C-alpha cells in the first residue's frame, strides 16, 4: 500500500487540480484520516459551549468519537468517548451535563477528570487506576478548543502565539453562541477546502458575499475605480485600528496566502478591511448585533483565522461566524456553522437571527451546493484535472501542496503510520 500511495501522490500534475482517485477512493481515505485527521490539531469547539464543570460536547472525527468536557477544576479536557470495559460509546448526545459519566452498558462510572470510580461487580478484581478514560491532547487558546488524536502532536505554540493576540479583541472566550447550524456536505473534505481557498467563484456564486469583501480583487489586476475604493476603505479604518491597538495585516484585495506548505503555515490569522458601505458581514452591511469583545468602534474590518484541516472564522465588529469541518467518509463532510455574539446580547432585543444569519448561511449553502455538484463531476470517468489560475487559485494550489506534503509525512502533522 505504501508504494501505491506514493505512486498516487505523484500523479498530481503541478499547477493542476488533483486526479479523481484523490476525491473518492475508499483506500486513500483511511490514509488521510490516519495522517491528517489523527495527526495534527483539530478545532473541536468553543470554551463557551461548556461553561461549567460537567458540561460536555461530543464530536466524531470520522469513526473516532471524542468527548470534550469541563472538569472539576474548570479545565477543558478531551477523552476518547469509549468505555474501557467493552468499548461502548459513552456520551451519545451532542452536548449535555453530567455529574459523572456512567456507561449505559454495565454502569462503569468515570469522574469528570476521566478516572474510573466505580465498576460494580468487578471492584475487587481490577486496578481502577489503570482503566480511566483515554485522554486526548487538548489545548485552549482565546476561547478556541483544539484537540489532537496523535500520540505525539505537533507543536501547538506557534498557533497559540498567533491566534492568542489576534483573537483577543474579539472576545471569543466570553461570547455567546447565537446559533449553530449543522450541514451535511455530500463532498470530499478537500473539495470543501479547495472551494474555500479561492474567491474566483464569488461574483457568480455569492451575490451577497462578494459585495462586502475585496476578495475578488487581486490588487495588481483591480481597476483604478476599485483600487480607489480599497484605498478609501483602508484610510477609513486604518487610523481607528491603530487607536484600538488592532494590527492591520492584510491591506490589499484578493485572499491572503494560506496555507503555506513551504513555511509550515497550517494556521493563519489576519485582519482586512470590509468594502465601502459595510460595517459588518450582513446583507445590507449594517450592524446586526452590539459590538463584541473589546471593540470600541465598528470600523474593525474582519478578523479571519483558519487552521488546517478543519477550521475557519470570519469575525466582524458585532458577530463572528465560524466553521468546523469533520470528515465522514470519502464523499461526506460534516460542517458545523457557529454564529457568535457579545456575551450579554439578547435575542429579539439586541439581535435578530433573521437579520444575522442570511449572509453566511446563504454563502455556506451556495458553497455546499457547488461542492456537491463538483463531487458528481469529479466522480465521473470523464473528469480530468484542469489547470488552476495563477491569479485566482494560488491558494488552491497551496492547499493541494500542503495536503501532498502531509500525506508524504513531511509536514506539520505527526503521522501515525499505518501503512505496511
Q: How many residues bind ligand FES (CB under 6 A)?
A: 9
Residue whose Cβ sits closest to Fe ion: 367
Of 48, 256, 24, 6, nearest to 171 by C-alpha is 48
Pick from 5, 25, 106, 404 the residue near ligand FES by CB under 6 A.
106
Pick from 12, 85, 211, 227 the residue near ligand FES by CB under 6 A.
85
Round to whole Å and give the CA distance between 80 and 62: 13
Q: Taking CB under 5 A as the criterion, which residues in 364-383 touch Fe ion? A: 367
Min dist CB 328 to ligand FES, Å, is 24
Return the number of the residue (47 or 213) whose C-beta is nearest Fe ion: 213
Contact status, residue 69 vs residue 77, Cβ threshold 8 Å: yes
- Selected range binding ligand FES among 26-34, 85-93, 278-286, 393-401, rule: CB under 6 A: 85-93
- Selected range binding ligand FES among 67-75, 81-89, 269-277, 350-358, rule: CB under 6 A: 81-89
- Selected range binding ligand FES among 105-113, 165-173, 197-205, 280-288, rule: CB under 6 A: 105-113
* Number of Cα atoms under 13 Å in the Cβ half of residue 90: 31
Pick from 44, 103, 178, 230 the residue near ligand FES by CB under 6 A.
103
DSSP 352: -
Q: Does 299 bind Fe ion (CB under 5 A)?
A: no
Of 112, 43, 109, nearest to 76 by C-alpha is 112
- Selected range binding ligand FES among 49-57, 100-108, 266-274, 351-359, rule: CB under 6 A: 100-108
Return the number of the residue (367 or 397) whose C-beta is nearest Fe ion: 367
Min dist CB 198 to Fe ion, Å, is 8
- Distance in Å from the first CA to the final CA of the chain: 7
Round to whole Å and give the CA distance between 411 and 3: 19
Torsion of CA 182, 201, 259, 80, to 10 degrees: 10
Contact status, residue 388 vs residue 396, Cβ threshold 8 Å: yes
Min dist CB 116 to ligand FES, Å, is 10
Contact status, residue 41 vs residue 147, Cβ threshold 8 Å: yes
Binding site for Fe ion (CB under 5 A): 367
Binding site for ligand FES (CB under 6 A): 83, 85-86, 88, 103, 105-108
Amino acid at each position: 500500500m505504501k508504494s501505491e500511495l506514493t505512486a498516487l501522490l505523484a500523479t498530481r500534475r503541478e499547477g493542476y487540480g488533483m486526479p479523481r482517485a484523490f476525491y473518492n477512493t475508499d483506500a486513500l481515505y483511511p490514509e488521510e484520516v490516519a495522517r491528517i485527521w489523527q495527526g495534527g490539531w483539530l478545532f473541536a469547539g468553543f470554551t463557551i459551549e461548556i461553561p461549567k464543570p460537567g458540561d460536555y460536547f461530543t464530536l466524531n472525527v470520522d469513526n473516532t468519537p471524542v468527548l470534550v468536557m469541563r472538569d472539576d477544576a474548570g479545565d477543558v479536557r478531551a477523552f476518547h468517548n469509549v468505555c474501557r470495559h467493552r468499548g461502548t460509546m459513552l456520551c451519545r448526545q451532542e452536548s449535555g451535563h453530567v455529574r459523572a459519566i456512567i456507561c449505559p452498558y454495565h454502569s462503569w462510572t468515570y469522574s469528570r477528570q476521566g478516572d474510573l470510580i466505580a465498576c460494580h461487580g468487578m471492584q475487587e478484581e481490577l486496578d481502577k487506576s489503570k482503566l480511566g478514560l483515554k485522554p486526548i491532547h487538548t489545548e485552549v487558546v482565546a476561547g478556541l478548543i483544539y484537540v489532537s488524536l496523535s500520540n505525539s502532536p505537533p507543536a501547538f505554540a506557534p498557533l497559540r502565539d498567533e491566534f492568542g493576540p489576534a483573537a483577543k479583541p474579539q472576545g471569543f472566550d466570553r461570547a455567546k453562541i447565537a446559533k449553530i447550524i449543522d450541514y451535511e456536505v455530500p463532498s470530499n473534505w478537500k473539495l470543501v477546502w479547495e472551494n474555500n481557498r479561492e474567491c474566483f467563484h464569488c461574483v457568480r456564486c455569492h451575490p451577497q458575499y462578494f459585495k462586502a469583501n475585496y476578495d475578488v480583487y487581486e490588487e495588481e489586476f483591480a481597476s483604478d475605480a476599485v483600487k480607489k475604493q480599497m484605498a478609501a476603505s483602508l484610510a477609513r479604518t486604518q487610523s481607528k485600528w491603530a487607536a484600538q491597538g488592532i494590527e492591520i495585516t492584510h491591506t490589499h484585495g484578493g485572499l491572503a496566502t494560506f496555507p503555506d506548505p513551504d513555511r509550515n503555515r497550517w494556521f493563519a490569522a489576519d485582519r482586512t478591511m470590509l468594502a465601502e458601505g459595510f460595517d459588518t458581514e450582513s446583507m445590507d452591511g449594517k450592524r446586526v448585533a452590539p459590538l463584541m469583545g473589546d471593540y470600541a468602534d465598528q470600523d474593525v474590518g474582519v478578523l479571519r483565522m483558519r487552521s488546517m484541516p478543519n477550521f475557519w472564522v470570519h469575525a466582524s465588529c458585532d458577530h463572528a461566524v465560524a466553521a468546523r469541518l469533520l470528515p465522514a467518509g470519502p464523499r461526506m463532510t460534516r460542517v458545523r456553522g457557529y454564529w457568535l455574539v457579545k456575551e450579554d446580547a439578547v435575542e429579539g432585543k439586541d439581535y435578530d437571527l433573521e437579520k444575522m444569519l442570511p449572509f453566511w448561511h446563504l454563502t455556506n449553502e451556495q458553497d455546499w451546493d457547488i461542492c456537491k455538484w463538483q463531487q458528481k463531476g469529479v466522480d465521473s470517468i470523464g473528469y480530468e484535472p484542469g489547470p488552476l489560475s495563477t491569479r485566482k487559485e494560488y491558494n488552491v494550489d497551496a492547499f493541494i501542496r500542503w495536503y501532498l506534503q502531509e500525506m508524504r509525512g513531511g509536514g506539520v502533522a505527526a503521522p501515525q503510520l499505518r501503512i505496511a
